[in-house]
Amino acid sequence: MSQPVASPFGEFSDYAAIPRVTALRLSPDGLWLAATVASLAPDGKKYVSSIWRVDVAGAPASRLTRSAQGEGEAAFLPDGSLLFVSLRQDPAAKPGDEAADKAGLWSLPVGGGEAFLVTAPPGGVSGLATARESRSFLITAPAFDGTTQAGQDAARRKARADAGVTAILHDHGGLVRFWDDDLGPDCLRLFAGTGGEEGAKDLTPEPGRALDDQAFALSPDGRFAVTGWQRLDGPGVMRNEVVAFEVATGESRTLLSAPGHDFMAPVISPDGRYVAAVRFEHDTVARGGDVTLSIVPLADGQATAPRDLLPDFDRRPVEVAWSADSATVYFTADDNGRRPVFSVGLESAQVRALTTDDATYSNLCAAPDGQSLYALRAAITEPHAPVRIDLTTPQADQVRLASPAPSLELPGRVTEVTTVVADGSTVRGWLALPHGASAAHQAPLLLWVHGGPYSSWNEWSWRWNPWLMVARGYAVLLPDPALSTGYGRDFMARGYASWGGNPFTDLMMITDVVTAMPEIDASRTAVMGGSFGGYMANWIAGHTSRFSAIVSHAGVWALDQAFGTTDGPFYWRRQFGTPETEPQRYLDNSPHLHADSITTPVLIIHGDKDYRVPIGEALRMYSDLATRGKQVKFLCFPQENHWILKPGDAAVWYQTVFAFLAEHVLGEDWERPALL
């Protein structure tokens, strides 16, 4: 385990420089883990990923890859050689090669030595999976419709570039944008290949947009590729299936499909017999959909009805992994402000919690001997780090492995708060308090609302980090109101299609509890949030004057406008209907209708490349408030998306928030950030 470093939260530059562990993969022999680590580039303008070796026996972590372009998507072949995706240059590339600026698939030999290029499709590699028992791999790579060879695809790209064409023609009736990506003019395809040999076979020559944002897997023997598959049932009506392809012939068959449902993130059992996937029931105007795990045989033959592995489990599974003997499925699910690891047996169907601490687990890796489960562990108080979970002693303390990233000294402490609201529901959250906060030295309070809305404050966030605020003397309340995950279907239903109802009153009631604490100065409070949290900040602004300042990042302002411009209108259509079919839902929940009531100073923040909550929301909100003479500032990031990711922009984001809160909460003079 690494030694803690002095608290890096006082200066944002120190915070930005902290390495971040983002992914974990276990070697076939179970002796070490490949950890992907994002670190600040030497020029400080971006993060670059590298792959590190984490020894399960406790040896110090060591770096395996090093390039200016970075490496990611690590996956092992059976002999222990490591495949990864990188933008690093192929030494054999010719000047002017169109693929030179695209990510290729590379291999690091098992005995060490120089990595070599396996394949470099003209559009670049975007995803990777490998087989357990054969030297087979799957990749996704974009290609133009009508092209059947890499040379044809490269020629199409060159022709567009030479002509200065960037236009995209959409005629499929589905999504045209996703988060911050313009979809097209090429489409993702699935390719199968063999490690150490150049080239890969196209399994999906005409997929349309079916492979967008889909996970995929390869059977242990390499015979079958299984992938999520987006199906368009009509204009704007989409659902996700799971489809299997026979690698040798390219023939496909649908494994999991049902109207009104999505099947996502398929994983194949180590014995190759079954596929497990997360099943999402679509929301409807009447109620929210359920989430569970489905399992179906992979073997040839007639279609078999899937089995629900969690028929009585009142939580939403997030991530899935198989045990080495294929008898058990491990999964994570939000639960009361944590995300434990659970297990369910294929035969017994008994669900058991394997962890009980105040933490969130991800990147589950089952050891081949069946004795251990490796994962990344995080908490409100700790960033992600590799651990070993002992499966022979359920709920025992996890063994912390030597991490490539340091542990951190926090500027405060965290406690749990709860309250019972009017309908009898218990609402809980985390409260981060600065060191020294007491009745004699009260701290101002910042209410920070999470995004989602189907989400929970239950793990470390590099983007939305409360400890940067705590280091400046604020107490930070991180509550889970109605719609939050981890409290069951009924708790979520309390806020369904009524975002301005119970979610708002839940937030106000738990804030009442915290402001009554002796450590809190109830006269100095603020609220902030991003995405759904930004929506709630906007709603709160029009419904109470109790706060001294409001910060709204990427928040929806006018619901009917957002429905028509977001990248995912299906989300609103399912839950809220349309402004024409269910006008009252939009009228009852749209913050813009309460602009006249806003008296609190507001800071609006938005990225121009945000397609989920388009910048039109911020532009209209700024205009609505400014023309009414309200106290409002608008911080715009022309090159950022739903999140503010570039280190320099993130620094300015926090500097502006710090200055805005200092002015209105602490009573200090406004100090404009130097670079603005």
Q: What is the pLDDT of residues 386-396, one digit of tens each?
A: 999 999 887 77
- Dist CA 27 CA 408 (whole Å): 28
Under the banding of pLDDT at 50, 70 and 90, the label for residue 91 is confident
CA 591, chain centre distance (Å): 26
- Dist CA 50 CA 67 (whole Å): 8
SS (H, E, C) 362-407: EEEEECCCCCEEEEEEEECCEEEEEEEEECCCCCCCCEECCCCCCC
pLDDT of residue 93: 67
- The reply to whether omega before 518 is within 30° of 0 (cis) is no
Distances (CA, A) of 181 to 178, 184, 441: 5, 9, 47
- The reply to whether omega before 185 is within 30° of 0 (cis) is yes
> Mean pLDDT throughout 655-670?
98
pLDDT of residue 395: 72
Tokens linked to 563: 């429905």
Q: Do residues 554 and 613 make contact, with C-beta atoms less than 8 angstroms apart?
A: yes
Sheet holding 237-246, edge to edge: 216-218, 224-234, 237-246, 252-256
Residue 99 pLDDT greater than 60, yes or no: no
Residue 235 pLDDT greater than 80, yes or no: no
- Dist CA 155 CA 123 (whole Å): 11
pLDDT of residue 112: 79
Residue 616 pLDDT greater than 60, yes or no: yes
Sheet holding 104-108, edge to edge: 71-76, 82-86, 104-108, 116-119
Tokens linked to 618: 């911020």
* pLDDT tens per residue, range 102-156: 999 999 999 878 999 999 999 999 999 999 999 999 999 999 999 999 999 999 9
- Dist CA 213 CA 228 (whole Å): 9
Q: Do residues 125 and 107 make contact, with C-beta atoms less than 8 angstroms apart?
A: no
- Dist CA 263 CA 231 (whole Å): 11
* pLDDT tens per residue, range 16-36: 999 999 999 999 999 999 999
Q: Which amino acid is residue 529, in one-letter code?
A: G
- Dist CA 86 CA 105 (whole Å): 7
Higher-pLDDT residue of 214, 393? 214
Residue 539: strand pairing partners: none
pLDDT of residue 631: 98
Residue 365 makes CB contacts below 8 A (sequence gap 6+) with 24, 25, 26, 33, 321, 373, 374, 375
- Dist CA 46 CA 64 (whole Å): 20
Closest CA to 105 of 81, 92, 121, 123: 121
Q: Which amino acid is residue 253, in one-letter code?
A: R
Under the banding of pLDDT at 50, 70 and 90, the label for residue 45 is very high
Residue 201: strand pairing partners: 192
Q: CATH classification of 412-664, choosing from 3.40.50.1240, 3.40.50.2300, 3.20.20.70, 3.40.50.1820? A: 3.40.50.1820
pLDDT of residue 100: 65
DSSP secondary structure code for residue 489 in this structure: H
Q: What phi, psi does 339 have (nearest 5°)? A: -135, 85
Residue 364 pLDDT greater than 90, yes or no: yes
> Mean pLDDT throughout 553-564?
97
| Strand pairing category for 127-130 and 116-119 | unpaired
- Dist CA 16 CA 14 (whole Å): 6
SS3 192: strand
> Mean pLDDT throughout 160-175?
92
Residue 67 pLDDT greater than 80, yes or no: yes
Under the banding of pLDDT at 50, 70 and 90, the label for residue 98 is low
Instruction: Name the average pLDDT for the chain.
Output: 94
Proportion of the chain above pLDDT 90, given as a percent: 91
pLDDT of residue 1: 46
Q: Do residues 105 and 121 make contact, with C-beta atoms less than 8 angstroms apart?
A: no
Residue 197 pLDDT greater than 70, yes or no: no
Q: What is the model's pTM?
A: 0.96
- Dist CA 540 CA 507 (whole Å): 9
pLDDT of residue 5: 61
Residue 521 makes CB contacts below 8 A (sequence gap 6+) with 442, 443, 444, 445
| Strand pairing category for 252-256 and 261-268 | unpaired
Closest CA to 503 of 563, 427, 419: 427
Tokens linked to 368: 């081949």
Residue 303 pLDDT greater than 80, yes or no: no
